[in-house]
Structure 1
Amino acid sequence: MDSDIIDKLKNFDLSTKEDVGVTLSNDDICLGIKECSRSLIGKIHGDKRINFNGLKETLSHIWRTQQPFTVRLVGYNIFQFAFQSEEDKQKVLLGKTWSFDGQYTILKEWTANHINWQNEAKVDLWVQIHGLPLHWISVDTGLKIGKIFDDVKDVYVPDSGSITGRWIIILAQINLNEPLLRGTKIKLGDELICVDFRYKNLQSFCYYCGIVGHGERDCTQKKEDVK
């Protein structure tokens, strides 16, 4: 039910019949819990409204589950993906970060509690660390620099002789509700340098506020600042 309707109903005086209420038991909801336990809740992070049929068709092609899954719209750009097996659910959950129509898909396991998307809007992105001296490039350096992010899932140091051998690449967990980190300072003894962070295949990014999910033309912060 729409939240506006619920708020309006709270202001009504209930009739005697309405005030009786209904009491549920765990047996009444056991089937729903069983189905939801094999579900993922997904949010498309961005301002553009998603085409439901297009999303289902695209993800069916990308995920390639063993059995068909169902999709339900449960909020604005929020969907429930119900799988027939735990194996299919885990395969999708543990897979790489996907985007749809230029917006990232955030997946969480179903829980009976409310998901706070403000805190849970996190995805894994590949980040290049530019500006390091060649002799500083190592996995240990990447792990230490990566601590500036929420988490580091992987560190990749390219083989020498390739163009990407000049920088470290890390798979970092990024909170999409916060401005992307542009770089940081690195100190070794008396030597201090600055490194840049460059994000691979970044989707729908605002160069004004630094947040993923909208373009500069649709940036509410920019509109407020120019008033």
Structure 2
Amino acid sequence: MEEELESIIGHLSLRDNEVVRHFTSLLNITRIDHFHTIVGKLHCPRVVSHYSIGNCRNIWSIHHGFTVRLVGENMVHFKFSDRIDRARVLHGEPWLLCWKHLLVLKPSDDLNVDFNLCPWWIQFNHCPLDLMNEDFARFAGNLIGQYMDVFRDGDRNFIVRFLRIKFNINITTPLLRVLQFEHEGKEIKIPLKYERLSEFSIIVE
């Protein structure tokens, strides 16, 4: 049994070892500092360097410095010197770096981090006035993804021109272009506009 185990270990590929280091690095991050760090992943078909990902400072517009360390394939650990900068990055998603999605999350003791779910603002154009409210926003959330928030214009529950809703969406699956449903005996079709849409996403009817 021991000889068989040694044989298996001896044939581990470099990629297998990289996965082990990836999870070990992530575990170490979560134990160091929960208040100044985030983990991120760039959804890109090719591997990029941490120097390229470090250019996200230009899109974040933060006031203080941060460090970048690779912990996996296109996965990085950011450590911020200022908590406000960190909060701005976490709440400002979705982020696009070179037209690719950069997903960022708080470090967690749970190593099964899902980097496929991304907070996204979607504009509902030509939405019937009686549907421009939070109740409909939550209904739409069950059809598209997970409802998170709806933009309010002052004390009102809707925007005059269009409804703007924030969802948690799986970006690895095709995205809807039009939301279709039945309302008061009529078929309703509402065009959807995804803000900051990258070329990596797939749009379908």
Q: TM-score, normalised by structure 1?
A: 0.63
Alpha-carbon deviations, 1:55-102, whole Å to 9, x = none?
21x222333444321101111110000123444333322223211011
Q: Which residue of 1 is the match for residue 17 of structure 2?
A: none
Contact 2:94 2:196 in 1 (8 A): no
- Per the alignment, in what secondary structure is the counterpart of residue 40 of structure 1? strand
- Per the alignment, in what secondary structure is the counterpart of residue 59 of structure 1? helix
Alpha-carbon deviations, 1:96-139, whole Å to 9, x = none?
3211011111111123442333xx42222222224544x33422
Cα distance 1:168–1:63, how it changes in 2: closer, same or farther (>3 A)?
A: closer
Whole-Å separation in 1 of the counterparts to 2:116 and 2:29: 29
Q: Which residue of 1 is the match for residue 15 of structure 2?
A: none
Contact 2:118 2:169 in 1 (8 A): yes
Whole-Å separation in 1 of the counterparts to 2:195 and 2:30: 40
Please say if 1:197 is aligned against 2:192.
Answer: yes
- The letter for the 2-side match of 1:39 is T
Count of aligned positions: 177
Whole-Å separation in 1 of the counterparts to 2:10 and 2:111: 24
Please say if 1:103 is aligned against 2:100.
Answer: yes
- Per the alignment, in what secondary structure is the counterpart of residue 104 of structure 2? strand
Q: Which residue of 2 is the match for residue 123 of structure 1?
A: 118
Cα distance 1:126–1:39, how it changes in 2: closer, same or farther (>3 A)?
A: same
Whole-Å separation in 1 of the counterparts to 2:70 and 2:80: 15
1:59 to 56, 60, 69: 56
Please say if 1:176 is aligned against 2:175.
Answer: no
2:44 to 43, 46, 49: 46
2:150 to 150, 154, 162: 154
Structure number with higher relative contact order (C-alpha < 8 Å, ≥ 6 residues apart): 2
Contact 1:152 1:173 in 2 (8 A): yes
Gaps of at least 5 residues in structure 1 are 1-6, 13-28, 160-164, 211-227
Query: Normalized per residue, which structure has more strand?
Result: 2
Whole-Å separation in 1 of the counterparts to 2:84 and 2:50: 24
- The letter for the 2-side match of 1:203 is S
- Per the alignment, in what secondary structure is the counterpart of residue 146 of structure 1? helix
Gaps of at least 5 residues in structure 2 are 1-5, 12-26, 153-157
RMSD of Structure 2 on Structure 1 (CA): 3.2
Contact 1:153 1:173 in 2 (8 A): no
- The structure with the largest alpha-carbon Rg is 1
Contact 1:127 1:200 in 2 (8 A): yes
Q: Which residue of 2 is the match for residue 219 of structure 1?
A: none
Whole-Å separation in 2 of the counterparts to 1:206 and 1:31: 29
- Per the alignment, in what secondary structure is the counterpart of residue 10 of structure 1? helix
1:138 to 132, 138, 143: 132
